[in-house]
């Protein structure tokens, strides 16, 4: 083991969106922290796209919204189709101001902005190439052992720690906290292409009898397409997705450059509790929800903000932190359950069994009535506990 012990107030394991945001907020509160991330660089696969208004409200408080707006694209409207028939639209302009839109920006750019912010606040906060291999809780501290790429090891000692290391969280496993849930039957293929539609900055959702098709605008004239498939495609190629789009929508993507293609299944998991002793869980370490609707990354930021508050109270109260951590766990588990239910609704509407007459009539009624304003607020994650609708 390398000589010496690094001391800090809070260790964050995992440098994704939730871990980076949490580090920035802790540093702004004057709390020393470090992030230890196993990957040497940010993954440029775009992954999540949408930053919802509730997250932009948090970014306003942190003073970091402007750079996201400079790089992102505002989606102000979603157009709904039943098969190829336009049945209405959901306009986000009726949502609470100032952020009456969903911001589209690839996740790698989001992480780049957040990491630059954290490093401006305190250079050297993000330590890459560090794999957690051991976690020990003491009466007054947490000791974490990390492995380096060259085979070396080093020890970090902190008052508290937070696992933000994804759905396969090493922190959660070392704490022996059960991860409860499973997989949905739904599977999809998605890809990013040059945009040759006439939708501009609008999103489009096709509730098709053969399966859901969605498309969302991206910056730089690109568009993401997502289509429900009958089975998981291990070797998904461009031809699979373009063929589905042509068959279901009679839309050709010929001549459009493809930038990414992948298949994905859908899972739902929630940790039995979001803390144990001096260690909290946030982001996908604590909860995994369906990506349909794009709420998972935003849920991670909500949890990180709550964790920031809990850690602040914990550090100022000496050993009387358990009540604050329990409050954090109870509050955020409730929020995660609400988000999971909304994500399930999004998936359900895109299934074949939802293409019957009653579903068609009900969907059209909601989108063409004043209920569409409520739907707009639900889709933009308003009304989650402490975040008013």
Q: Which of these three, 217, 242, 267, is where a domain ends?
A: 267
| Residue in 201, 184, 121, 120 with CA at minimum distance from that of residue 346 | 184
End position of a domain, from candidates 267, 286, 312: 267
> Which domain does 206 fall in, by range?
182-267
- Whether residue 279 is found in the same domain as residue 258: no
| pLDDT surpassing 80 at residue 386 | no
Instruction: Specify the pTM.
Output: 0.90
- In a domain, residue 115? The reply is yes
Whether residues 190 and 169 share a domain: the answer is: no
Here the tokens at position 51 are 């930053």
Average pLDDT value for residue range 257-281: 95
Cα–Cα distance for residue pair 10/341, rounded to 1 Å:
32
**125 and 139, same domain (yes or no):** yes
Question: Rounded to an integer, what distance in angstroms lies between the CA atom of residue 252 and that of residue 268?
Answer: 34
Q: Is the domain of 342 the same as that of 199?
A: no
The pair of structure tokens assigned to 260 is: 């990414």
pLDDT mean over 114-122: 98
Residues 188 and 257 in one domain: yes
How sure is the predictor about 357, in pLDDT bands with cuts at 50, 70 and 90?
very low
**Strand order through the sheet with 102-104:** 50-51, 102-104, 73-75
Which parts of 122-237 fold into alpha helices (H)?
Answer: 170-175
Whether residue 290 sits in one domain with residue 146: yes
Q: Are 141 and 195 found together in one domain?
A: no
Q: Are residues 289 and 330 in the same domain?
A: yes
The pair of three-digit structure tokens given for residue 79, joined into one six-digit string: 């157009």
Residue 118 DSSP code:
H
pLDDT for 205-234, tens place per residue? 999 999 999 999 999 999 999 999 999 888
Q: For residues 117 and 18, state if they share a domain.
A: yes
Look up residue 84 and give its DSSP letter. T
- The CB density around residue 257, as the number of other CB atoms within 10 Å, is 9
pLDDT attached to residue 387: 39
Q: Render pLDDT for 319-345 as a digit per residue (tens, 0 to 9).
A: 789 999 999 999 999 999 988 887 777
pLDDT at 31: 97
Residue 249, in any domain of the structure: yes
Q: What's the CA gap between 302 and 265, in Å, rounded? A: 24
pLDDT of 135 > 80? The answer is yes
The answer to whether residues 211 and 323 belong to one domain is no
Pair 248, 198 in one domain: yes
CB contact at 8 A, 12 and 36? yes
**Which residues, in sequence order, are bridge partners of residue 157?**
7, 143
CB-facing half-sphere around the CA of 237: CA atoms within 13 A:
1
Q: Among residues 337, 363, 321, which one has the least CA distance to residue 270?
A: 337
Query: To the nearest whole number, what is the mean pLDDT of the chain?
Result: 89
Domain boundary among 233, 267, 301: 267
């Amino acid at each position: 083991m390398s000589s010496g012990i690094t001391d800090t107030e809070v260790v964050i394991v995992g440098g994704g969106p939730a871990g980076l945001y949490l580090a920035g907020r802790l540093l702004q509160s004057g709390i020393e922290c470090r992030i230890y991330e196993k990957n040497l660089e940010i993954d440029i696969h775009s992954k999540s796209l949408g930053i919802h208004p509730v997250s932009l409200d948090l970014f306003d408080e942190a003073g970091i919204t402007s750079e996201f707006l400079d790089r992102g694209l505002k989606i102000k409207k979603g157009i709904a189709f039943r098969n190829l028939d336009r049945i209405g639209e959901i306009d986000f302009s009726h949502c609470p101001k100032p952020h009456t839109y969903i911001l589209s920006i690839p996740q790698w750019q989001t992480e780049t902005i957040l990491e630059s912010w954290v490093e401006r606040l305190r250079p050297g906060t993000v330590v890459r190439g560090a794999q957690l291999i051991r976690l020990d809780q003491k009466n007054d501290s947490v000791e974490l052992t990390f492995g380096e790429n060259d085979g070396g090891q080093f020890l970090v000692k902190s008052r508290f720690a937070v696992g933000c290391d994804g759905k396969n969280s090493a922190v959660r496993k070392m704490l022996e906290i059960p991860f409860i849930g499973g997989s949905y039957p739904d599977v999809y293929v998605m890809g990013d292409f040059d945009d040759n539609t006439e939708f501009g900055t609008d999103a489009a959702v096709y509730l098709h009898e053969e399966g859901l098709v969605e498309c969302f605008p991206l910056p730089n004239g690109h568009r993401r397409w997502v289509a429900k498939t009958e089975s998981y495609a291990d070797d998904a190629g461009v031809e699979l997705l373009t063929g589905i789009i042509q068959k279901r929508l009679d839309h050709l993507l010929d001549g459009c450059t493809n930038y990414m293609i992948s298949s994905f299944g859908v899972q739902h998991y929630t940790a039995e509790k979001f803390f144990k002793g001096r260690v909290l869980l946030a982001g996908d370490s604590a909860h995994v929800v369906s990506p349909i609707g794009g709420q998972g990354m935003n849920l991670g930021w909500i949890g990180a903000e709550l964790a920031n508050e809990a850690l602040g109270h914990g550090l100022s109260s000496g050993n009387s932190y358990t009540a604050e951590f329990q409050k954090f766990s109870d509050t955020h588990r409730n929020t995660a359950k609400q988000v999971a239910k909304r994500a399930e609704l999004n998936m359900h509407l895109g299934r074949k069994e939802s293409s019957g007459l009653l579903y068609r009539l009900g969907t059209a009624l909601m989108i063409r009535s004043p209920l569409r304003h409520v739907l707009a607020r639900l889709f933009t994650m308003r009304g989650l506990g402490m975040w008013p609708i």
